[in-house]
Amino acid sequence: MSEEKNQKSSKSNFLGISIILASLILGGSIIYASRSLDQFINTDLITNQKDSKTEEANGLEVTSLSHLKGNPDAPITIVEFSDFQCPFCQRYHPIIAQLISDYPNQVRWMYKHFPLDSIHPQARLAAEASECAAEQDKFWEFADQLFESQAILSSDLYQQLAIDLELNREQFQNCFDNRKYQDKVEADYQAGIKLGVRGTPASFINGESLVGAVPYNTLKSAVERARGNQ
């Protein structure tokens, strides 16, 4: 009788210990899972905040491959999405150039590619050619010539412009033939899509959107608003 009682007591003790151990394991798993989830959420929030601040500051991140004209440290940035075969972009190009000249310290101009392939079959290749010229520090000169010669955009023209601008012809031709900057042009295009660009030219002045080849006074007013918000 005493032995049977001891056996029952041992079983009860074993069962109690098992329940306690199971509770501890389960509790530890819940705590670990909660901490892991918190860590994931916090990391995700930090990443999103960082991306948000970058976009808010510049509209787009400025890198060593960005095409900037004007004071590189200017507080106002005009980000333009453009297409070398677009007649409205051709009209708008000298308007921005004039504004940069009139605001030499306050404004900088960032050029981004947005080739409209369905209606401008040479736009993407012209953009890639301009990147090959940029490789030799001649982006803006090459871009100016592309707009001036918009009616005859072709591979032959790009080669001739490389000669006229005294580029290393072999380097330029290898770059163009191998489509070295195909991904960069496409990255510009996708960045424009994310910002809501659907046509060209499309500009952002410290985040304010301007659609189309707006006249000089409209562009100047947008710059003055940006100056007033600083």
pTM: 0.74
> Does residue 45 share a domain with residue 96?
no
pLDDT (0 to 100) of residue 47: 28
Round the average pLDDT of the chain to a whole number and report it: 81
pLDDT (0 to 100) of residue 59: 54
Q: What is the pLDDT of residues 4-19, one digit of tens each?
A: 444 444 445 544 545 4
Number of domains observed in the structure of the chain:
2
CA–CA dist 72, 106 (Å, integer): 10
> Does residue 108 share a domain with residue 17?
no
E strand or H helix at 114: none
> Does residue 120 share a domain with residue 76?
yes
Residues 6+ apart with CB under 8 A from 59: 77, 79, 195, 204, 206, 207
The DSSP annotation for 122-133 comes to THHHHHHHHHHH
> For residue 53, is pLDDT > 50?
no
> Does residue 80 share a domain with residue 48?
no
CA–CA dist 210, 183 (Å, integer): 26
CA–CA dist 56, 72 (Å, integer): 18
Supply the range of the domain harboring residue 40.
1-58
Q: What is the pLDDT of residues 124-165, one digit of tens each?
A: 999 999 999 999 999 999 999 999 999 999 999 999 999 999
> Does residue 94 share a domain with residue 41?
no
> For residue 191, is pLDDT > 70?
yes
- Please compute, for residue 22, the number of CA atoms within 13 A of its CA located in the half-sphere on the CB side: 6
